[in-house]
Chains A and B, each alone.
Chain A
Amino acid sequence: MSAGLPVPPGQHARAAARFVANEVRAHRHDAAGWHLRSNRDRGAGSVPEWEALREAASAIKAHTLSRLADYLEEFERNARQNGIQVHWARDGAEHNAIVHGILAGHGVARVVKSKSMLTEECGLNPYLEARGVEVTDTDLGERIVQLLGEPPSHIVVPAIHRTKEEIGELFQRRLGTPAGLTDPTRLTEAARHHLRQKFLSAQAGITGVNFAIAETGGVVVVTNEGNADMGTSLPPLHVACMGVEKVIPRARDLGVLLRVLARSATGQPCSVYATHFHGPLRGGEMHVVVVDNGRSAILARDAFRRSLSCIRCGACLNTCPVYRRSGGYSYGATIPGPIGSVLSALRDPRAHADLPFASSLCGSCSDVCPVRIDLHHELLAFRRELSGRGLVPLGKRLTMKLLSLVMRSPRLYALAGRAARFLLRRAPWALRLGPGAAWARQRALPSGPAASFRELWDRQASAEKGGLP
């Protein structure tokens, strides 16, 4: 079973407030994300040329995006030469139909799938399940959320929002582990036995794609659990699903991207497995489904193109102080966090008008990003875009209009300032009404000083002149 989004789009602030209300859970989630960020710091810090590596990774991606169609065609040509069948899907619906068509053509009823955010984006699991295909997610974290009937709340660590106690209870219910078992090693062992049966009985394996190499016509899939390898070595049919942005020009570019990917994700020097697929198993078939689903529209946007460089390492989620304290579901989108906010807002600005504002614009995401996507500036640029389309809430728009009018007149500004300071001193309750309430509920208001800086300046100036004010 696969679930829709637990929180509908457009409600980040409200969902985040609910998440924060459970302080223990919110702090645990924050600590889990920060733990990954700290590991990433150690991993990145162990490479003296880290910043040069980021620059190179960014340049490889920027170059590829500047000739995306050419590289995709080159990839297709070379993949076909390798005996791989290449399919093109305009959107998620086409992608799902193609994948199902391949499976149905082989009479597949049981399929194992390794981690793929693209198939989440396209809603592949429910599509296949509705057509009688059993899909087993084989990444441990993904299997956990699948058994819970939840979507991933993080793109690398899908079950980061769950505790080992909750997983122990789930496994007791679904996999028959002893009650009260919370030891991660033993729980993982139980999952391995459970998944082994699924691998042995699967008729096809679906994987995502981390990198598709134009020059060689092969794809590279990165995992820590070897589940993509298990899922593609036993069944004769392999379907790999990728977004158009996954292509890179040359095999040698992998050296740069693999080095930054694992370090940024978990701090590991490299992932446990980086498997190169350059053709079907003997007697089997390999298919690659290349999906656009809105990506070429993003490619056309100068201000946001770089977001397509994303290699899905999750570092921007781990470092984001807002993501860590609001949880993945609060974003109401398949991909949460800073990169998810950009991509979701680009896909459907009306539904996700809240996401560019679900950020303090601290810029940590941009500094951590291994391919140097200027995430916080893209979020800021999108705020302007939303405002241009009339999608900024009316209250905020009017406040800013009024503020702008006041600020254009030094006299009005001084008057408003004096009034505000007077109220702060004499009637602070008045400022706790309206928009001031959200400030003052948890924070003391500043104590209004008797004189502003400009008043002090004027007094000194007139004192120096020796004249009367």
Chain B
Amino acid sequence: MAPTIGLFVPCYVDQLYPEVGWASLRILRQVGAEVEFPREQTCCGQPMANSGCAAEARPLAERFLSIFGRYDQVVAPSGSCVAMVRHHYRELLGDRPDLERVASRTFELCQWLVDVRGVSRVEGEFRRKVGLHKSCHGLRELRLGKSSETVGAPYDKVQQLLAPLRGIELVELARADECCGFGGTFAVAEEAVSCMMGRDRLADHEKAGAEVITGADVSCLMHLQGLARREGRRVEVMHVARILEGARLS
């Protein structure tokens, strides 16, 4: 029997980018997964935890465990929220068997597709020049790819899923994985630096010829898209699930 997957749609994706949740659901179903969306889910607690407010984050971590504990696996279209569950709940809840169980079975969408589902073939088409934004928590917490600081064989699970699409051209950036400056409350508390970082990322993608910027974290994309729209830039911003949802993965 196929494992039952609890689809974790982070709060801001649920409310502001429902199409990303929907695309994730379509992808999971297309590869034959049994998916449920537990209606009681809200927020994983990351904004509170990253502000240092552990007492405010803790009840949300507890909720998450009790809601998602019943699934074989949990999948979310957000590297950052998954990193929260996998790596940072421990700081709030301590070492607990129920946490260990959920943390080790919670995956970012691309991570799940590559590592758990073992997707090796992607058939589909996307005739655009695409710049891949490697969001920091996916990269340096979940290790979805090799970060540019580390020395070793290169790999990238998001790129691995995109590259086989017919017609896609993945552009090469001058700075392969520099932070976009979102950083949760950082985006507001350090507005000036945050926006300069974002504009610098946009400029790098544009210079490389990207027509579309994609990535595995909606939050970074929301920040980049906000800057691009405000300045009337032509570059489109799109979550990786939106690109993959039309493809056949096996």
Contacts and interface: CB of A to CB of B under 8 A. Distances in A.
Interface string A442-469: 1111101101111111100000000000
Contacts of B193: 13, 16-17, 20, 321-322, 325-326
Q: What secondary structure prevails in chain B residues at the interface with A?
A: helix
B94 interface: no
B54 interface: yes
B132 to A, nearest CB: 16
A51 B152 CA distance: 8
Contacts of A26: 196
Contacts of A397: 53
B30 to A, nearest CB: 16
A21 B59 contact: no
Interface in A207-263: none
Contact of B189 (A13, A21, A363, A404): A13
Interface in A361-384: 361-364, 366-368, 380-384
A263 to B, nearest CB: 10
Contacts, number: 222
A30 B200 CA distance: 10
Contacts of B147: 363-364, 367
Contact of B190 (A12, A30, A366, A400): A12
A339 to B, nearest CB: 15
Contacts of B54: 384, 387-388
Given A443-B226, A452-B14, A50 B151 contact: yes
A364 B147 CA distance: 8
Interface string B129-142: 00000001101110
A365 to B, nearest CB: 9
Interface in A129-171: none
Contact of A360 (B19, B197, B227, B229): B197
A387 B53 contact: yes
Interface of A: 12-13, 16-17, 19-21, 23, 26, 30, 34, 41, 44-45, 47-48, 50-51, 319, 321-322, 325-326, 356-364, 366-368, 380-388, 392, 396-397, 400-401, 403-404, 406-410, 413, 417, 420-421, 424, 435, 438-439, 441-446, 448-449, 451-458
A-B pairs, top 4 by smallest CB distance, nearest first, are A360-B183, A443-B226, A383-B52, A362-B179
